[in-house]
Amino acid sequence: MRYGCVSYLREGLAMTGSENSNARILTGECYCRTVRFEVADAFSYAMNCHCSNCRRTTGSAFKPFAGIAQEKLRIVQGGDQRLIFGDDTTHDAHCARCGSLLYSRVREGKWVLSLWEPWSMPPRSGRAPIFS
């Protein structure tokens, strides 16, 4: 599976993960509350992707996302209730019960793009709209 946003990120956006061990923990869940997760507030970037794959995945004009290292995302409930579309290194994870998109794994499985309220993140420098 290949995402337009993934190829763009590979080509030139620097990954500058926060090393703050005191980062607050954010929580998220699917619509039906079957799957719940926690993620450290240590995101490296946030964007809106307008590529055809992201539009198809969300059913909207764009997909808002924030990138974070995979090990900072933890499924705390309903891990066995996820539908995984893709393979071990690049996939979308949905709730099997309600269909909510939970997260996407990209960059050879090294980065997770969490969809949990990217608008609540503090502004960071660098903007990169993606259209493909």
Amino acid at 23: A
Question: What is the pLDDT at residue 84?
Answer: 92
Beta bridge partners of 28: 37
Domain encompassing residue 54: 4-10+23-118
124 in a structural domain: no
Amino acid at 55: R
27 in a structural domain: yes
Six-digit token pair at 42?
């240590």
127 in a structural domain: no
Q: Average of pLDDT values for 7-30?
A: 60
Of the CA atoms within 13 Å of residue 23, those in its CB half-sphere come to 20
Confidence of residue 119 (pLDDT cuts 50, 70, 90): very low
Query: What is each CA distance from 46 to 42, 72, 116, in whole angstroms?
Result: 11, 16, 11
103 in a structural domain: yes
131 in a structural domain: no
Query: What is each CA distance from 119 to 8, 10, 87, 97, 124, in whole angstroms?
Result: 21, 23, 28, 26, 11
Question: What is the pLDDT at residue 83?
Answer: 94
Six-digit token pair at 7?
């190829």
* CATH of residue 42: 2.170.150.70
Higher pLDDT, 21 or 85: 85
92 in a structural domain: yes
Q: Average of pLDDT values for 101-128?
A: 66
126 in a structural domain: no
Question: What is the pLDDT at residue 15?
Answer: 44
Q: Average of pLDDT values for 74-100?
A: 92
Question: What is the pLDDT at residue 131?
Answer: 56
Question: What is the pLDDT at residue 82?
Answer: 95
Q: Average of pLDDT values for 48-55?
A: 85
Mean pLDDT of the chain: 76
Question: What is the pLDDT at residue 115?
Answer: 62
Beta bridge partners of 114: 66, 103
Lowest mean pLDDT of 80-84, 88-92, 96-100, 110-114, name the range.
110-114
Indicate the number of domains in the chain: 1
Q: Average of pLDDT values for 1-27?
A: 54
Using an 8 Å Cβ cutoff, are 88 and 106 in contact?
no
